[in-house]
């Protein structure tokens, strides 16, 4: 029997939610600005590198660039610049050992950061997640009346769904109005009135009616619906992003039959685990938070799996801007999952063969089922390498 850490290090992961990376060389300030959810260190001093994620970067990323673990950050950034951004991205993304990447194109660090570019760097097939609000905002900026708005958005969504590689839609209601949304599908008069408000001052969609309606419109296409929950930058009010606030809406969406995937969830990840247990069509991840907590990643994963069935948990990095994020998430996730399962086997709480099977579900098979991706390892490039997590 192969030990679980080796087995899981060799499994190719489906990263079911991430973003592109920046193409230019980053100085210390630029790197720190992308490292955490803060815009940068405060004016009163202190470095964002002196944090759980900063320590994790210094532990796991320097070896990928041929440096010893724990290299000081300035020497690390000098090596990063010396290698060049393309090579750095390629090393981190290949090193993440990915079977596929699903890229949210509604929030890209720069126009070149396409799903295809990320997939090429990762040596894995790439897919696209369409952001509902971005699409609606594009329609709002075009000529059209409030009464035509819903039809125009539905038409644009249907076109997007037919584009090759589009596998899901996503809502960022959390960022705009929070998640305390009514459960019913809005009626057409309500939608026309809300569209009228948006068209009067076209900008960002930030309207309870429109966010709800967009989620139902996405579900009508039969595509899985990703919903941002919990942790994010300070554009959101975190106390309004508890996924439990979605309970009514999850009841409303359930009859559509589409998978609803709750993203990130921290610090409400236990709440999300509960929802994944009681709603047959609800899936969860702890992307973003998992690598931001560094060595605490195992605790987070264990807390999600207190209630969430193994068949309902997905892997994502939510990597954005820095390819270190995509890499670090993979390393810390593998360490967390193998630690948790190895402990269960050691305590005779789980058989080794079950642990191996459950790991396969979370590493990729759940995502393949949710998004209808081809079965099994898809990239000969990404598969055979084992990720160094020790
Ligand atoms: Zn994201």
**Both tokens of residue 170?**
């996503």
- pLDDT recorded at residue 385: 59
Ligand 1 center from residue 241 Cα (angstroms) = 14
pLDDT one-digit tens code per residue, 152-184: 999 999 999 999 999 999 999 999 999 999 999
How do strand 126-131 and strand 282-284 relate by DSSP bridges?
unpaired
Measured between alpha carbons, how far is 132 from 172 in angstroms, rounded to an integer?
Answer: 8
Exposure pattern of 160-185 as b/e (b: 16+ CB <10 Å)? bbeeeebbbbbbbbbbbbbbebeeeb
Task: Please give the model's pTM, rounded to 2 decimal places.
Answer: 0.95
Ligand 1 center from residue 318 Cα (angstroms) = 5
Which residue, chain included where needed, has tokens 């990063």? 80
The yes-or-no verdict on residue 98 having pLDDT over 60 is: yes
Ligand 1 center from residue 356 Cα (angstroms) = 28
**Both tokens of residue 9?**
């290090």
DSSP assignments along 154-185, one per residue? HHHHHHHHHSTTEEEEEE-HHHHT-S---SSP
**Both tokens of residue 308?**
């969430």
Ligand 1 center from residue 349 Cα (angstroms) = 34
Ligand 1 center from residue 232 Cα (angstroms) = 9
The yes-or-no verdict on residue 379 having pLDDT over 50 is: no
pLDDT one-digit tens code per residue, 193-206: 999 999 998 899 99
Instruction: Please count the CA atoms within 13 angstroms of the CA of 118 that sit on its side-chain side.
Output: 36
pLDDT one-digit tens code per residue, 263-292: 999 999 999 999 999 999 999 999 999 999
User: Of 271, 196, 279, 188, which Cα lies nearest the Cα of 229?
Assistant: 271
Ligand 1 center from residue 325 Cα (angstroms) = 12
Ligand 1 center from residue 226 Cα (angstroms) = 10
Mean of pLDDT values over 27-56: 92
The yes-or-no verdict on residue 374 having pLDDT over 70 is: yes
Ligand 1 center from residue 250 Cα (angstroms) = 20
Ligand 1 center from residue 262 Cα (angstroms) = 11
User: Of 31, 14, 12, 3, which Cα lies nearest the Cα of 95?
Assistant: 12
Query: pLDDT category, 386, cuts 50, 70, 90?
Result: confident
Ligand 1 center from residue 64 Cα (angstroms) = 24
Ligand 1 center from residue 315 Cα (angstroms) = 13
φ, ψ (nearest 5 deg) of residue 325:
-60, -45
Adjacent-strand bridge partners of 264: 229
Show the beta-strand stretches assigned E in the chain: 13-18, 98-104, 126-131, 166-171, 225-229, 260-264, 282-284
Ligand 1 center from residue 111 Cα (angstroms) = 16
User: Of 319, 226, 239, which Cα lies nearest the Cα of 271?
Assistant: 239
Give CB contacts under 8 A, 24+ apart, made by 361-365. 361/310, 361/311, 361/313, 362/310, 362/313, 362/314, 362/315, 362/337, 363/8, 363/11, 363/12, 363/13, 363/14, 363/315, 363/337, 364/11, 364/12, 364/13, 364/14, 364/99, 364/100, 364/315
Ligand 1 center from residue 122 Cα (angstroms) = 18
Ligand 1 center from residue 17 Cα (angstroms) = 6
Ligand 1 center from residue 317 Cα (angstroms) = 8
DSSP assignments along 345-356, one per residue? HHTTSS-HHHHH
Mean of pLDDT values over 79-103: 97
The yes-or-no verdict on residue 107 having pLDDT over 70 is: yes
Inter-residue contact 386 to 10 (CB < 8 Å): yes
User: Of 101, 7, 39, which Cα lies nearest the Cα of 345?
Assistant: 7
The yes-or-no verdict on residue 80 having pLDDT over 70 is: yes
Q: Which value, to the nearest 10 degrees, does the dihedral of the CA atoms of residues 47, 49, 52, 58 take?
A: -150
The yes-or-no verdict on residue 42 having pLDDT over 90 is: no
Ligand 1 center from residue 105 Cα (angstroms) = 9
On average, the pLDDT of the chain sits at 95
User: Of 21, 174, 34, which Cα lies nearest the Cα of 101?
Assistant: 21
Ligand 1 center from residue 265 Cα (angstroms) = 12
């Amino acid at each position: 029997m192969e030990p679980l850490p080796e087995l899981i290090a060799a499994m190719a992961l489906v990263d079911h939610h991430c973003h592109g990376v920046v193409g230019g060389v980053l100085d210390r300030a630029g790197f720190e600005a992308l490292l955490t959810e803060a815009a940068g260190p405060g004016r009163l001093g202190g470095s964002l590198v002196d944090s759980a994620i900063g320590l994790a970067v210094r532990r796991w990323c320097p070896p990928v660039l041929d440096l010893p673990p724990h290299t000081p950050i300035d020497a690390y950034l000098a090596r990063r610049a010396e290698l060049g951004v393309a090579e750095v991205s390629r090393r981190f993304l290949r090193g993440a050992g990915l079977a596929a990447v699903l890229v949210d194109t509604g929030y890209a660090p720069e126009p070149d950061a396409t799903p295809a570019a990320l997939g090429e760097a990762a040596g894995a097939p790439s897919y696209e997640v369409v952001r509902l609000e971005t699409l609606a905002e594009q329609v709002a900026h075009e000529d059209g009346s409030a009464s035509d708005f819903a039809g125009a958005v539905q038409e644009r969504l249907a076109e997007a769904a037919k584009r090759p590689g589009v596998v899901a839609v996503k809502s960022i209601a959390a960022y705009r109005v929070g998640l305390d949304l009514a459960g019913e599908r809005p009626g057409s008069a309500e939608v026309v009135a809300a569209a009228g408000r948006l068209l009067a001052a076209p900008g960002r969609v930030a309207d309870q009616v429109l966010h709800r309606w967009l989620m139902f419109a996405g579900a009508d296409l039969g595509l899985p619906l990703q919903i941002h929950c919990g942790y994010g930058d300070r554009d959101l009010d975190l106390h309004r992003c508890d996924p439990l606030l979605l309970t009514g809406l999850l009841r409303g969406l359930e009859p559509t039959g589409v998978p609803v995937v709750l993203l990130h969830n921290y610090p409400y990840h236990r709440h999300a685990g509960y929802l994944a247990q009681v709603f047959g069509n609800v899936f969860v991840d702890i992307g973003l938070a998992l690598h931001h907590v560094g060595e605490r990643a195992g605790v987070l994963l264990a807390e999600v799996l207190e209630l969430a069935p193994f068949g309902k948990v997905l892997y994502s990095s939510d990597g954005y801007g820095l390819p270190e994020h995509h890499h670090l998430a993979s390393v810390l996730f593998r360490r967390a999952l193998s630690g948790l399962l190895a402990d269960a086997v050691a305590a005779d709480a789980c058989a080794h063969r079950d642990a191996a099977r459950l790991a396969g579900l979370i590493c990729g098979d759940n995502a393949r089922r949710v998004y209808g991706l081809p079965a099994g390892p898809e990239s000969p490039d990404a598969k055979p390498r084992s990720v160094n997590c020790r």
